[in-house]
Amino acid sequence: MRPILILAALILSLPVAGHAQALDDRKGWQVVPTPHSFADLVQRVETAVKAEGMLLVTQASASAGAKGRGIDIPGNRVMGVFRNDYALRMLEASVAAGIEAPIRFYVTENTDGTATLSWKTPGAVFSPYFEEGGQPLEDLAFELDLVFLSIAERAVASE
């Protein structure tokens, strides 16, 4: 009888499908609410990435996929950002760390029509590999922390 009660309690505690939770600060993340619309923030991130000399190497959007199926959900886009010279330095320090590249920005649409820019800091992303990758990987992560912060600052800045 107890396993059934535990299962029922677990089911009742699960989030309701379609009821998205707002992003909030979490360890290793930067979360920046903005006054910009979702579409505008996506464009601003693309522009900022180029301005900082980085490359947008991947993109994925569940909301775009859902829209293609006739389903409307709040906008979201994952934007993978990296550059080959960083990739070579990363791999020289730790081949295992390569699974983490590209490092991603996450643009999410808020219920009030604004959007939030979030990302895991490169330092947090690469920290599990610091013992293996040593100081070269730590230096790379610190350098990328600054690059990602600059991209974010450009993207969220007022006109």
Give the amino acid at 28. Answer: G
Read off the pLDDT band of 139 (50, 70, 90).
Answer: very high
Instruction: Tell whether 68 is covered by a domain.
Output: yes
Per the structure, the complete domain to which residue 48 belongs is given by: 22-156
CATH code: domain of residue 95: 3.30.310.70
Write the pLDDT tens digit of every residue in 65-123: 999 999 999 999 999 999 999 999 999 999 999 999 999 999 999 999 999 999 999 99
Phi and psi at 112, nearest 5°, equal: -90, 10
User: CA 137 to CA 53: how far, in whole Å?
Assistant: 20
Instruction: Tell whether 8 is covered by a domain.
Output: no
Give the amino acid at 88. Answer: L
Instruction: Tell whether 133 is covered by a domain.
Output: yes
Instruction: Tell whether 16 is covered by a domain.
Output: no
Average pLDDT, the chain: 89
Give the count of domains, the chain.
Answer: 1
- Please give the pLDDT value at position 14: 39
Q: Which of 12, 1, 20, 11 is nearest to 108 (CA)?
A: 20
User: CA 81 to CA 52: how far, in whole Å?
Assistant: 11
Write the pLDDT tens digit of every residue in 47-70: 999 999 999 999 999 999 999 999
